[in-house]
Amino acid sequence: MNAPAGLPDLSHLWMPFTANKQFKANPRLLASAKGMYYTSADGRQILDGTAGLWCVNAGHCREEITQAIARQAGEMDYAPGFQLGHPLAFEAATAVASMMPAGLDRIFFTNSGSESVDTALKIALAYHRMRGDAQRTRLIGRERGYHGVGFGGISVGGISTNRKTFSGALLPAVDHLPHTHNLEHNAFKKGQPEWGAHLADELERLVALHDPSTIAAVIVEPMAGSTGVLIPPRGYLERLREITSRHGILLIFDEVITAFGRLGKGTASEYFGVTPDLITLAKGVSNAAVPAGAVAVRREVHDAIVNSAQGGIEFFHGYTYSAHPLAAAAVLATLDIYKREQLFERATRLAPAFEAAAHALRDAPHVVDIRNIGLVAGIELKSRDGAPGARAAEVFHKCFDSGLLVRYTGDILAVSPPLIIDEAQIGELFDRIGKILKETA
Ligand SMILES: Cc1ncc(COP(=O)(O)O)c(C=O)c1O
């Protein structure tokens, strides 16, 4: 394929989660970024309404982070993490632990959310085996859950498009809770909906069906982002915690997008006041400046594995790049910014203005629901007959072409800006979506 004038050859790159042919026929390229804005390859400023992919919580190209990475790259580019360590890795683990709920202070580093999920699932299996409960191998996820793209993650995940191609090769012992999304009961609710806590009781049904002695862990996103901003009904997470504790089942919260301030706290666990046994992390942990992820593990779970091994390696798992020096440097600089600039408190302070601006679109064309929590909003549109997703895709493209980055999944628009956004930018963001909805058939 010949490159269009001024563009590189687009043919070799197989793009992830992208309609490749469509993209390459009409490429939209980003060239640089600073603060709240991207600059497109054709020189336009694009307001970042989605913190990249829910990850650039402190805004783009923060000098403290880029300098920390550059310094580290010059000092020690790489250090093996198996049977060797480097000081920054330990410091980064301490810094991450300081932002986790009390008790979840053992940190395993990965490079992505998908790796964090598979790591957490393996820790759960190892925990039960080490305690003599090796028959606890069943994993329970939830419909509409997104837990990345590893075989573990898609098995416990609940998005059929991500599963069906690989359906013959998914993990065998998996079941799913129902999702909690319900427009009939919860449309246009601000914050946590009142209806739906009883859906957690479905876990009791699965426990009765499979017997608790076969179940290792339940994994859910406390707030599901990628499948359209699904906010947990009041009392729902509490019930999941109560049922899992009662049956000796580990509870994993996938906080790849909710941790590090999205809801105005270090974690959604802290925000909702429900503490799981493991938390998966990525994205905001390094402000996405270097790929990084982690699993925060309850100390007893860690100890059960590490203390019961008879010498040698306790957990046969890890990545060449776990706690990579550049990632560790980025994590430390990022978490320092969050604390110093009190960005989580800022998110809490901005949340009411964000909520008001989002819900001002209630009467805009096509809108069937608006939901929000912290600095996240989902705007659900009525699907076009016979073309689900087409309307939101058109809005996404028009937004981008007019200088605003949003996300869409199906016919749901998601907005999740960097936490450094100001009130004027919040107004601009939702006003622009409103204008584009009016221009969209
Ligand atoms: C809840 C959740 N888990 C896991 C992942 C996968 O993360 P990654 O794309 O870094 O592998 C994502 C990505 O959006 C996510 O939202």
pLDDT at 6: 77
pLDDT above 70 coverage of the chain, percent: 99
Q: What is the per-residue pLDDT across 315-336, written as a single tens digit (0 to 9) for each? A: 999 999 999 999 999 999 999 9
Burial of 3: CB neighbours in 10 Å, binned 0-12, 13-18, 19+? exposed
124 vs 9, 169, 175, 300, 307, CA distance in Å?
45, 21, 16, 12, 15
Q: List, for residues 364-382, the tens digit of each pLDDT value.
A: 999 999 999 999 999 999 9
User: Is the beta carbon of 62 within 6 A of some atom in ligand 1?
Assistant: no
The residues with which 252 forms a beta bridge, in sequence order, are: 219, 278
CA of 229 to the centre of ligand 1 (A): 14
* Residue whose CA is at the smallest distance from ligand 1 atom 3: 147
Q: Where are the alpha helices (DSSP H) in 189-284?
A: 202-210, 236-246, 268-272
Q: Measured between alpha carbons, how far is residue 308 from residues 131, 160, 213, 304, 401 in Å?
A: 8, 39, 21, 6, 57
* Atom in ligand 1 nearest the alpha carbon of residue 225: 16
* Beta pairing class for 45-48 and 404-405: parallel
pLDDT at 311: 85
Q: How far is the CA of 146 from the centre of ligand 1 (A)?
A: 7
Residues comprising the chain, all counted: 441
Give residue for tokens 């400023």: 45
Q: Which residue has the least CA distance to atom 14 on ligand 1?
A: 226
- Give residue 269's pLDDT band: very low, low, confident or very high (50, 70, 90): very high
Q: Band of the pLDDT at 182, cuts 50, 70, 90? A: very high
pLDDT at residue 168, as a whole number: 92
The residue-averaged pLDDT of 191-209 equals: 98
Question: Can you state the angle between helices 87-97 and 325-340, rounded to 10 degrees?
Answer: 40
Strand arrangement of the beta sheet that strand 174-177 belongs to? 106-110, 293-297, 278-281, 250-254, 215-220, 138-142, 174-177
Q: What is the mean pLDDT of residues 419-433?
A: 98
User: How far apart are the C-alpha atoms of 308 and 156, rounded to whole Å?
Assistant: 28
Ligand 1 mean position, distance from CA 86 (Å): 27
User: With a 6 A CB cut-off, is 358 part of the ligand 1 pocket?
Assistant: no
**Is a pLDDT exceeding 50 seen at residue 1?**
no
Q: Do the Cβ atoms of 260 and 284 come closer than 8 Å? A: yes
Distance of CA 285 to the CA centre of its chain: 11
